Amino acid sequence: MSKYIDLTGEKFGRLTAIRRVENAKNGQTRFLCRCDCGNYRTVVAVQLRSGQTQSCGCMRKDLLTTHNATNTRLYSVWWGIKSRCYSPKCRGYENYGGRGITICDEWLGKDGFQHFRDWAYANGYDENAPRGECTIDRIDNDKGYSPDNCRWVDMKFQGNHRRNNREITYNGETHTASEWAKKIGISVETIFSRLDRNWSVTEALNGREAQEE
């Protein structure tokens, strides 16, 4: 064994050189290393010193896993939208595709997912948000999925949004709750708190005092 630099005890990324072992077939010095994850691996000294090898292989695996998980979650959002809009067998189709809700060409065609992903990250998609706290929402319920009609919101917001769009018929006229609220000049919260107390639609929109007068 010729002259070599002793790396014993030195750390390279996740690897710590434990002891020198037999040279590689081409004569390169090698060290047995212990990885932070507990695995052992024999690595050529040059690769340690150059930073080319920094773990037993677990580092790359970790990176891939994170990368895939991120992609998978957003991908399943995109896939879900596509199914609801274009697969009659999909649960919920009647509220989407069945109502004429579509996806814009940009998000649908070739590279559709990439375009959707780029839009998502540029517009507030948070891959670290707990499930349900970052969901896609259509601003206008009657319009489709496109960059100008979509946003990322939490479930509570989406619930309110859906509630405010609930249609209420009164005196033969049908409007959404928020439209009624605007028309009458009360808040949509007032309308729903009244309905929650089992007031009739007439009472919810006009108030009970008005009825008694």
Residues that bind Zn ion (CB under 5 A): 35, 37, 39, 55-56, 58
User: What minimum distance in Å lies between the beta carbon of 21 and Zn ion?
Assistant: 18
Buried b (16+ CB within 10 A) or exposed e, 84-104: bbeeeeeeebeebbeeebebb
User: What minimum distance in Å lies between the beta carbon of 32 and Zn ion?
Assistant: 14
Please, which residue, 39 or 102, has the CB nearer to Zn ion? 39
Please, which residue, 18 or 168, has the CB nearer to Zn ion? 18
Tokens of 61: 């695996």
User: What minimum distance in Å lies between the beta carbon of 30 and Zn ion?
Assistant: 17
Helices (H), 39-154: 45-49, 58-86, 105-108, 112-122
Please, which residue, 60 or 182, has the CB nearer to Zn ion? 60
User: What minimum distance in Å lies between the beta carbon of 34 and Zn ion?
Assistant: 9
User: What minimum distance in Å lies between the beta carbon of 163 and Zn ion?
Assistant: 50
CA angle in degrees (0–180, nearest 5) for 63-67-69 = 120
**CA 34 to CA 70: how far, in whole Å?**
30
Please, which residue, 55 or 164, has the CB nearer to Zn ion? 55
Distance linking the first and last C-alpha atoms of the chain? 106
* Bridge partners for 40 per DSSP: 34
User: What minimum distance in Å lies between the beta carbon of 62 and Zn ion?
Assistant: 9
Please, which residue, 41 or 73, has the CB nearer to Zn ion? 41
**CA 136 to CA 104: how far, in whole Å?**
15
Residue type, 32: L
Please, which residue, 13 or 207, has the CB nearer to Zn ion? 13
Contact assessment for residue 77 and residue 84, using Cβ atoms and an 8 Å cutoff: no
Residue type, 207: G
- φ, ψ for residue 55, nearest 5 deg: -160, 175
